[in-house]
Amino acid sequence: MSHFSNIKTQIRNLSSLQSALSDLGVDWKSGPSTVRGYQGQTRTAEVVVEQSNDYDIGFSWNGQEYELVADLQYWQQPLSVEGFLKRLTQQYAYHTVVSEATKQGFQVAEQQKNADGSLRLVVQRWSA
């Protein structure tokens, strides 16, 4: 019986995912690579976060989005799974917005982290 859990996300852009993980101070490696689980079980993922207890966290493409793949019983991160995904999703959204805005000729003019943890981002584009 598999101990792996697959948690759906709204994450679709690999480079934004990788940047968000780096922002959170998470050491990750690019795959495809092996996610280690209970009793030697493995899964393949495009991004793997190795934990010191030899049970990894991965992000695996399911054809539509990157799912978090892990044996949650052995979760060994400073935040809960929910807290981790909330912070990761926020950083992912930030990188996705900045990337898409840059593609359309915008630049970040101002960014501010609010007391409630939300981010305020102002982009601008000069036109002649």
- Block residue for tokens 């852009």: 13
Q: Average the pLDDT over 105-128 and give the result.
A: 86
Cα 82 from Cα 128, distance rounded (Å): 46
Q: Average the pLDDT over 90-110 and give the result.
A: 91
Q: pTM for the whole thing?
A: 0.85
User: pLDDT for 6-54, tens place per residue?
Assistant: 999 999 999 999 999 999 999 999 989 999 988 888 999 999 999 999 8
User: pLDDT for 63-96, tens place per residue?
Assistant: 999 999 999 888 988 889 999 999 999 999 999 9
Task: Identify which of 60, 52, 44, 40 has the alpha carbon closest to the alpha carbon of residue 76.
Answer: 52
- Domain assignments of the chain as residue spans, ordered by start: 5-124
